[in-house]
Amino acid sequence: DSAKPAALRRLIAPTAAPPSTGETAKKHWYEAVSIRGYMQVRYNRLLETNPDLKCEQCDKSWGDNGGIFFRRIRLIVYGQLHPRIYFYLQPDFASTPGGSTSGHFGQIRDAYFDIGLDANSQFRVRLGQSKIPYGFENMQSSQNRLALDRNDALNSAVVNERDLGAFLYWAPTKIRQRFASLVSDGLKGSGDYGVLALGAFNGQAANRAEQNNGLHVVARLSYPFLIGKQIIEPGLQAYTGRYALSTDQLSRGVKYCPTMNYVDQRAAASFVLYPQPLGFQAEYNVGRGPEFNAATDSIETRRLHGGYATVSYRARVGGQQFYPFVRGQHYEGGKKYERDARSYHVRELEIGLEWQPLKFLELVPMYTISSRRFEDYQTQGNRQRGRLLRLQAQLNF
């Protein structure tokens, strides 16, 4: 029997038979499908001046009672199955189900597939859960970002950066190659979300079921210009929709709109100069959305605005890479995903260094100077200032 394992496999286990038609027979599964991943371990308690300074969306281990912490444990299964078909499946194993006292469960971040509409997939439709094309830093992978967490101003638009929807991306082949090399050459690109992007999505954020009868819509335009040896990428993007608050995020006693549905609209401008060797990146957004108002004890539709600017430098020394960086950020507005659409006023300065002794390992010390007012019905008047040293070790496989 052992002389004909393929025949036996088919014979003994037909329940698991792979897709049928001819093409796969030529390719082994491990040539069509690849696996990679990364994990991030953090510690935020050194040189901490204020244990009440916290940041729910950044990293739950800031401040009092925080310890050693997994920010992300990612396992990625992906493949270009056909010139027109690509898929990407990424669970995160640092996730906690609502109501559970233990964490580190596997939950989907990305699960999507691309269908090329032309032979070169210059036009692609993407179906499933994937990043919303809103904000350069939102789309840039955490594996590549310099600052440990995304900026509050644009990241408050889409928690976990993703949602379930259908998206159309367009970019000419030459620009698709440029998007690809901006990542593979270590320039910290965003990946290819097209020159032009259009999409419709549920609007309740990743891994949350739709809660109303209207989809959000988003559009984005971004182009990486080659100017001499430098590459700059300006971009514009906007989305609109209605966000439905859920009862489990409301404090007892807070007032809110009876439909629990709120306008959710934003527009942003982005500018990137890729680090050859000096990099600069800035984004700003304005919009409207639900926000807790302490003056009225109620959740109201209010204006929001904010952004950030990062200056970085890329140095290569004997096969190792060093990226010192400084980021300043500012945000005033609500965070619709948090309790009572918590109201925020954030000013923060971060000074850090990403060191890659090997491509498999990245070490980041980052010093954060922060002022954060974050108020909901239960924490009115809560404003915290402080400084802390943050440490991260990242393993890439």
Q: For residues 134-173, which are near a copy of itself according to CB under 8 A?
A: 141, 164-166, 173
Question: Least CB distance from residue 394 to a copy of itself, whole Å?
Answer: 9
* Count of residues near a copy of itself by CB under 8 A: 128
Interaction with a copy of itself in 108-127: which residues (CB under 8 A)? Answer: 108, 111, 113-116, 119-121, 127
Q: Does 212 bind a copy of itself (CB under 8 A)?
A: yes
Q: Which stretch binds a copy of itself (CB under 8 A): 2-10, 265-273, 371-379, 382-390?
A: 2-10
Please give the structure tokens belonging to residue 55: 């940041």
Q: Does 47 bind a copy of itself (CB under 8 A)?
A: no
Sketch the per residue contact string, 358 through 387, with a copy of itself: x for CB under 8 A, - otherwise.
xxxx--------------------------
Sketch the per residue contact string, 241 through 280, with a copy of itself: x for CB under 8 A, - otherwise.
---x-x-x--------------------------------
In whole angstroms, give the CA distance from residue 329 to residue 71: 21
Q: Does 15 bind a copy of itself (CB under 8 A)?
A: yes
Half-sphere exposure of 129 (CA within 13 A, CB side): 22
347 contacts 327 by C-beta, under 8 angstroms: no
Question: Is 71 or 302 the residue whose CB approaches a copy of itself more closely?
Answer: 71
Q: Does 207 bind a copy of itself (CB under 8 A)?
A: yes
Q: Does 80 bind a copy of itself (CB under 8 A)?
A: yes
Length of the chain measured in residues = 397
Given 117, 168, 211, 288, the residue binding a copy of itself (CB under 8 A): 211
Q: Does 179 bind a copy of itself (CB under 8 A)?
A: yes
134 contacts 237 by C-beta, under 8 angstroms: yes
Interaction with a copy of itself in 286-325: which residues (CB under 8 A)? Answer: 319
